[in-house]
Homo-oligomer: A and B are copies of this chain.
């Protein structure tokens, strides 16, 4: 297999922001032809930050690379007809839609399924009743910011990564392919709804966190940078570099004791406190004490030494790295999942391939899109329109004139 297992599959995407577009990106990088439809001039995410000096959006071009971009006036009847025709085009590898549309009756599932009864229609929502929500509001509502940050803190600490958006995007790609497998076997289509709020609720439930709170009757306390239920925390090296060190398993815990020369200390501590630090529960209970015993070893050594020793001892650890370091490492040839690219304005940028390696190969990251650049080609490819028809649509302002 090449790195393009989904070659030949056509997907229409009418979605904005992170979740839906990330689902489309995932399928596109696996080889599907994902056609993103935007309004003329772009949707509400077209110029979203971060942006280059020219205004071109790093965000939009990153999340929509590897797709074909078409722009259509969806307020016009002929524009709506084009969109519906693209969504419901016949064939076993077509009739797949990802959207996050709210309140467009002409794009309701019933309206679309009237044109293609076996349509696969994946709709991303905020709440399951269709009300809007975004990553930062649903994260607050499942209690994560209240558990984040210093044990002494009381204010919620928002996450920076739109984690639920990313998880939702990958749930979109999973559900589309599950629906496709089902359609291939049975002929039946599906209307699949997926709410960001549900993804977040299921996410915390699946880690057992809601059961724990239900059991204890109280909130889990904040732990700062300590890992919950085991041992893991950050340490500062002599030169100020910081590392995250984790001991989930007994071999990891043994490696950490041995490299820091604390085996006898912890043996004595176990005897004194009637603890068994080979057990995660006891490492977790005594996390502050363990960290305090280990801290001087890190504080006495520069990062270069710490790094070499931890690696040699097979300790599970990572360095707190700035994104600037990630960029420099990429430029120096590290991180093959990343790649250099150039935006349409000429700006150099850093893009990513799919992290999924097929038979040892990362695929190509895919080119950054330019809004509407593929409109004519897609209308010819997928709907069989000829130059004259496409010219008439452009003249009527239903699609942008080819540049």
- Residue ranges of A at the interface with B (Cβ–Cβ < 8 Å): 1, 5-6, 8-9, 17-18, 22, 25-26, 30, 44, 47-53, 57-63, 128, 132-134, 136-150, 155-163, 166-167, 170-171, 173-175, 177-182, 184-186, 188-195, 198-199, 201-215, 217-220, 223-225, 227-230, 232, 234, 242-244, 246, 248-249, 280-281, 284, 316-327, 330, 335-338, 347-360
A352 with B170: CB separation less than 8 A: no
Cα(A358)–Cα(B195), bound, Å: 12
B228 with A49: CB separation less than 8 A: yes
B163 with A163: CB separation less than 8 A: yes
- A interface secondary structure, majority: mixed
Q: Chain B nearest CB: distance from A351 CB in Å?
A: 6
Partner of A171, one of B26, B208, B322, B335: B26
A208 with B58: CB separation less than 8 A: yes
B191 with A360: CB separation less than 8 A: yes
Q: Chain B nearest CB: distance from A331 CB in Å?
A: 8
Top 8 nearest A-B pairs (CB, nearest first) are A49-B229, A137-B318, A58-B208, A170-B170, A163-B163, A177-B177, A50-B212, A205-B352
Cα(A324)–Cα(B142), bound, Å: 10
A178 with B140: CB separation less than 8 A: no
B211 with A62: CB separation less than 8 A: yes
B355 with A146: CB separation less than 8 A: no
Contacts of A141 in B (CB 8 A): 318-321, 326
Q: Chain B nearest CB: distance from A72 CB in Å?
A: 20
Q: Chain B nearest CB: distance from A389 CB in Å?
A: 32
Known contacts A58-B212, A192-B357, A195-B337; can you find 10 more A-B pairs with CB under 8 A? A18-B207, A63-B206, A63-B207, A137-B244, A140-B321, A141-B321, A142-B323, A145-B225, A161-B203, A201-B355
